[in-house]
Amino acid sequence: MWLPEIDLSGETGPKYKTLVEAIITDIESGRLRHDVRMPTHRELAYRLKV
């Protein structure tokens, strides 16, 4: 399962924008492929502590 490699603890802007950028970066780099499962929104919230 894919999880973003980001730290939201020091973010001053909207956290969703940081998450969107992480998703875009991972798609462009090939780390997040079409056949990789993504976590549910609850799992993401729990892991990112938001």
| Residues with Cβ within 8 Å of residue 18, at least 6 apart in sequence | 6, 8, 11
**Helix-helix angle 41-48:15-29, to 10 degrees:** 110
Q: What is the pLDDT of residue 11?
A: 74
Which residue ranges in the chain fall short of pLDDT 50? none
